[in-house]
Amino acid sequence: MNGLSDTLRANSIPSFGPHSEGALLEGSKIHAKMLMQSLGVPTGSFHRVENLDEIDGSLDSFEPPWVIKRDVLAGGKGVTVTTSRKDAREALKYGIEEDGFVLIEEHLSGEEASILVIMDESGYVMLPPSQDHKRVGNNDTGPNTGGMGAYAPAPIVTPFCACKGEEGNYRTNAPLSKKLEHPISWMPLCGANDRLAGLSERYRV
C-alpha cells in the first residue's frame, strides 16, 4: 500500500506487484467493496459503521452469522465471523474506537475457492484454483489465523466452474484495470457460497 512497486518502476527496476492504488483492493475492504459495487461486480451486501449508536441497527440489518471487518492491514486476523450478538457488538465497538469505522457485511455460506489471475496490459493468465484454511478448528470454527496453508487444484472447482471463474475474472479485471488506470499485476478473486459452480458468483477481492 505504500507504493514500493511504484518506486521500483519509477527507477527502472522490474518488479512484480500491484501499484499503490491497486494494493488498496487488499488493504482497504471498504475501498474494494465500493469499487466492486460501482462496477457492477457481484459481491455481498455491506455497510460502513462509523458511530457507536449505529451498532444495533447495523446488526439488525444482517442475518447471523455476522461478518465484521476492520479496514486495516491486520495480518489476516482483522475479520470476526460470529453468531453471538455480544461478540459482534464488541467487534464493531473495537473497530470504531480503534479505526474510526468498521465494515459489516453479508455472510456468504458454502465452500470458498480462490482463483488467482496474473495480469498486465497485454493480457492475463489464470492460475489453478485453490483453497486455503484461515480459521482454527474443523468446519471453519474459531478465529482467523492469518493463514494455515493452501492446496491446489481445489477439487470443488470443476472444469465448468473454473471456466465460469475465468469468465468472471475477465468481466471483473478489465473494468477494474481501466478504472484504476494502471495494469493490475495480480488479482485474487474468491468465489464463495453454494452457487460457486453455477450462475450466481459472489466475489471478494
Lowest-pLDDT choice from 5-9, 29-33, 37-41: 37-41
Neighbour tally for 24: CB within 10 Å: 18
Between 10 and 73, residue with greater pLDDT: 10
CATH number for the domain harbouring residue 161: 3.30.470.20
Structural domain tally of the chain?
2
Q: Which grid coordinates belong to 31?
A: 475501498
Q: At residue 78, does pLDDT exceed 70?
A: yes
Q: Are residues 143 and 66 in the same domain?
A: no
Residue 25 forms part of a structural domain: no
Q: How many CA atoms lie within 13 A of 53 on its CB side?
A: 0
Domain boundary among 69, 85, 105: 105
Between 181 and 78, residue with greater pLDDT: 78
* pLDDT tens string 161-189: 555 555 555 555 555 555 555 555 545 45
Q: Are residues 113 and 101 in the same domain?
A: no
How far is Cα 151 from Cα 129, in angstroms, rounded to an integer? 9
End-to-end CA distance of the chain: give it in Å, rounded.
15
Domain boundary among 56, 77, 105: 105
Q: Which of 109, 107, 108, 156 is nearest to 131 (CA)?
A: 156
* pLDDT tens string 129-139: 888 776 777 77
* pLDDT tens string 86-144: 999 999 999 999 999 999 999 987 777 777 777 766 777 788 888 877 677 777 677 76
CATH number for the domain harbouring residue 61: 3.30.1490.20
Is residue 203 exposed (0-12), middle (13-18) or buried (19+ Cβ within 10 Å)? buried
Q: Which domain range does residue 117 map to?
A: 108-204
Residue 5 forms part of a structural domain: no
With contact defined as beta carbons under 8 Å apart, do 191 and 165 qualify? yes
Residue 96 forms part of a structural domain: yes
Question: Is the omega angle on the peptide bond into residue 175 within 30 degrees of 0, that is, cis?
Answer: no
